[in-house]
Structure 1
Amino acid sequence: MSSLLVTSCKKDEEENENPPSTTVDFGTPPSAGIVTTGTVEVITEDNVRYHVIVAVNVCTVTIVETETDVVMIDLGPAFIQNFGTQIKAYADDIGKPISVIITHAHGDHFGNIDKFESSVVYAETSVVSELAANTTFAGLYTGEVTAVESSLTIGGLVFSFDKVSNAETNENAYIYLAAEKALFAEDLIYNQAHNYIREYTPLTAPDELTNWLNGLNELKTQFGGYSHVFVGHNGTRSDISTVIDENIAYLSDAQGLIKGTKQLTAGGFASTNQQVVDELASLYPDYVISALNLSLPDAFYPGDPGADWFAPVEFGDPPPASTITTGTVEVITEDNVRYHVINAVNACTVTIVESATDVVMIDLGPAFIANFGTQIKAYADAIGKPISVIITHAHGDHFGNIDKFASLDVYAETSVVAELAANTTFTGLYTGEVTAVESSLTLGGLVFSFDKVSNAETNENAYIYLAAEKALFA
């Protein structure tokens, strides 16, 4: 009896540890043709079926289908015409009760909530507060969002909830099915798409990208061995540790560029949002671009200042205009650059480009105006920053005062260097070396791009532009 009892108990324990597997007959999924505004991928496992709907802008809606229920994880954006109607039709076609989980308070994740008014809506507790404070959400959905503290069981599956705070946004929830080894990371992990870093505010605490990176490392530790990760942008991956590493690399690069610990490929450091965006686009050329440009000025509305990544430079007072008695001075101040435009009495112009750390003189005016060269040198010196010189072409009224700047670095477009070397007036004034610039030069964190027009006003006319600052020196 005792032996039989022990054997029986052991058998019961084994059955509890290894319950008999059951395979749900899910039948044929709805037609992918229902969703013309995106693509549908269906992944079927023993007791769960995932329908991954990727909108044309790669926003992703994941439908978790159990034997008895359907759970929508996020609902995509409202601005894609018919997308909300189509995902609702697709979910309805499965033919089971529908519940909704919203992971965070971004419109591209709750935008179609109005199509699901009759469904029960859930969110992680802190996300519920975020949604309640979001006027767009409140305008779309008047029902109650049920707060989930730790877990929720729907259709026999246990959806566990957790979050990372102050990362991609204030509160980013993630959900996981431990038994099924499925992670719904949403906007904490992107799949070969530029991360949305618009809300990064490095000038104030907390450092959101540091929090995000820490969260990713925790996700990798906890979920690296899972079978699936479903993301908020661009579908799903099965190589979870790899996709997390990709996000860590991307966010580390972004943080370094913004905080000045990573140089631009062209040299120097970023000082504008445009420089960061351009560099990330160059570093990750195969990534879907959509979220990246949302950090730029005017991204959301005319006059939108863009992401708050860089503090405006404190330039202080400019030198007194009275330093120049042989011309006039106009000062134009922008966030990270100040232009001092000096017009000589004969209308020849010298432009001084002042960055946070440097001064760049673009052309130097004519020698035949008495004291003009001495005065522009005194004015530039009064700014109190290292001075470099760019000469645009080999006319004396543009290089005539080069002798006043003999100890400084002088640059010119490659073909202009040859023109200057052949100009006896120039070589009589300046015995130093002019550095040839083929395409671009970084000075004081600003990228000066060079190009030219040949056989026009003279043999070689160079022009320079600051793309990020939208400034042309023609």
Structure 2
Amino acid sequence: MNGMVTVLDKGAVRIHSYMSPADTFHTTTQLIETSARIIAIDAQLLPAYTDEVIAYAKGLGKPLDRLIVTHAHPDHYNGAARFGAPVHALAEVREQIIARGDSKLPTGQVIPVIDFTPDVELVPGTEVIDGVPFVFEAVSGGEAADELLVKLPDQRVLIAQDLVYNDVHLYLGNNDITGWEKAVDALAAESGYDTVLAGHGLPTGPEVYAEVRRYLADARELLGDDGEAYKKAIVDRYPAHVGPFIIDIANRSLFGAGH
């Protein structure tokens, strides 16, 4: 396996957190295993890593009930069709995915938008699955225009996905540092959660909020009108972080195609 799986035993739920290699900036897929099924949260950018997740899930011996896509970034939905399960997403996220259109991989392969368009509208609220409450909340602004936050209150698990990165450079292409700061502050104010699942990086705890907040403050300080200068400055400040090329991707949105 190229990726890494971290297993967290939470009683009525076992969480299998798949993290891709550094070449796709440690993107995560969360497999939430209940007594009778598996709920997958977010796909992967590359088919090879998606297939690793699916092979691992099949090895658990339970049906894959659904794939939930938390937001409209290709590294979290490109492989959706390969799961062979209904794809759930917020209505706003579905619209944004359709608006982005076909996805082109670094290899040049094109994945048609129809292959990853969500087909089930996810409505915020609480759904009890096999006796386990799943709390779905919509969050606006930050890393993406709209994101889904998933809480497992009985297990004290908060599935933040791209509202939180763990030791990976942040994607700032949505150009909303203030919105992201507000979202992180709201997460930090949550009580009763001791496990946080990040969209990039290993599972962590509430201490990650201060780390993300610090990175955002540094980005606000360093982000001027020169993308290359910003990249050098932020990489120098966070030399151990994975995925500096995610800064290049963000810079194309922030500063234009020349970056």
Q: TM exceeds 0.5?
A: yes
- 2:226 pairs, out of 251, 272, 287, with 272
Report the CA distance between 1:45 and its aligned residue: 2.2
Separation in structure 2 between the aligned mates of residue 237 and residue 91 of structure 1, nearest angstrom: 22
Report the CA distance between 1:143 and its aligned residue: 6.4
Separation in structure 2 between the aligned mates of residue 309 and residue 66 of structure 1, nearest angstrom: 44
Partner letter of residue 120 of structure 2? V
Q: Which residue of structure 2 lines up, in the alignment, with residue 315 of structure 1?
A: none
Separation in structure 2 between the aligned mates of residue 177 and residue 120 of structure 1, nearest angstrom: 21
1:61 counterpart = 2:36: no
Structure with greater contact order relative to length (CA < 8 Å, sep ≥ 6):
2
- 1:94 pairs, out of 46, 60, 70, with 60
Q: Which residue of structure 2 lines up, in the alignment, with residue 85 of structure 1?
A: 51
Separation in structure 1 between the aligned mates of residue 133 and residue 90 of structure 2, nearest angstrom: 14
Q: Which residue of structure 1 lines up, in the alignment, with residue 186 of structure 2?
A: 218
1:197 counterpart = 2:172: yes
- 1:285 pairs, out of 239, 245, 256, with 239
1:17-166 equivalences under 5 Å are 36-57=1-22, 58-78=26-46, 82-98=48-64, 99-117=66-84, 119-136=85-102, 138-141=113-116, 144-166=119-141
Q: Which residue of structure 2 lines up, in the alignment, with residue 295 of structure 1?
A: 250
Structure 1 counterpart SS, 2:164? coil
Report the CA distance between 1:104 and its aligned residue: 0.3
Checking the alignment, whether the CA contact within 8 Å between 1:165 and 1:172 is kept in structure 2 is yes
Sort the Cα spacing of 1:143 and 1:104 in 2 relative to 1 into closer, same or farther, 3 A: closer
Partner letter of residue 250 of structure 1? Y
Q: Which residue of structure 1 lines up, in the alignment, with residue 200 of structure 2?
A: 233
Report the CA distance between 1:293 and its aligned residue: 2.6
Query: What CA deviation, in whole Å up to 9, does each residue of 1:392-450 have, x standing for no partner?
Result: xxxxxxxxxxxxxxxxxxxxxxxxxxxxxxxxxxxxxxxxxxxxxxxxxxxxxxxxxxx
Checking the alignment, whether the CA contact within 8 Å between 1:100 and 1:121 is kept in structure 2 is yes
1:301-320 equivalences under 5 Å are 306-308=252-254
Sort the Cα spacing of 1:132 and 1:154 in 2 relative to 1 into closer, same or farther, 3 A: farther
Checking the alignment, whether the CA contact within 8 Å between 2:93 and 2:146 is kept in structure 1 is yes
Report the CA distance between 1:48 and its aligned residue: 0.8
1:170 counterpart = 2:145: yes
Q: Number of residue pairs matched? A: 244
Checking the alignment, whether the CA contact within 8 Å between 1:124 and 1:162 is kept in structure 2 is no
Separation in structure 2 between the aligned mates of residue 274 and residue 142 of structure 1, nearest angstrom: 34
Separation in structure 1 between the aligned mates of residue 30 and residue 145 of structure 2, nearest angstrom: 22
1:252 counterpart = 2:198: no
Q: Which structure: larger Rg? A: 1
Query: What CA deviation, in whole Å up to 9, does each residue of 1:151-176 have, x standing for no partner?
Result: 32323222111132131111121111
Report the CA distance between 1:249 and its aligned residue: 0.6
Separation in structure 2 between the aligned mates of residue 143 and residue 166 of structure 1, nearest angstrom: 21
1:376-395 equivalences under 5 Å are none
Separation in structure 2 between the aligned mates of residue 157 and residue 146 of structure 1, nearest angstrom: 20
Structure 2 unaligned spans of 5+: 103-111
Structure 1 unaligned spans of 5+: 1-35, 201-207, 259-269, 297-305, 311-334, 336-467, 469-474
Checking the alignment, whether the CA contact within 8 Å between 1:125 and 1:149 is kept in structure 2 is no
Separation in structure 2 between the aligned mates of residue 82 and residue 248 of structure 1, nearest angstrom: 33
Checking the alignment, whether the CA contact within 8 Å between 2:97 and 2:117 is kept in structure 1 is no
Report the CA distance between 1:41 and its aligned residue: 1.2
Partner letter of residue 250 of structure 2? S
Separation in structure 2 between the aligned mates of residue 256 and residue 143 of structure 1, nearest angstrom: 37
Report the CA distance between 1:309 and its aligned residue: 5.1
- Aligned residues: percent identity? 27
Separation in structure 2 between the aligned mates of residue 120 and residue 112 of structure 1, nearest angstrom: 13
Separation in structure 2 between the aligned mates of residue 295 and residue 287 of structure 1, nearest angstrom: 16
Checking the alignment, whether the CA contact within 8 Å between 2:70 and 2:147 is kept in structure 1 is yes
Structure 2 counterpart SS, 1:230? strand
Partner letter of residue 86 of structure 2? V
Query: What CA deviation, in whole Å up to 9, does each residue of 1:49-102 have, x standing for no partner?
Result: 011111113111111101111011111112xx5212221111112121212111
Partner letter of residue 284 of structure 1? Y
Structure 2 counterpart SS, 1:64? strand
Partner letter of residue 54 of structure 1? M
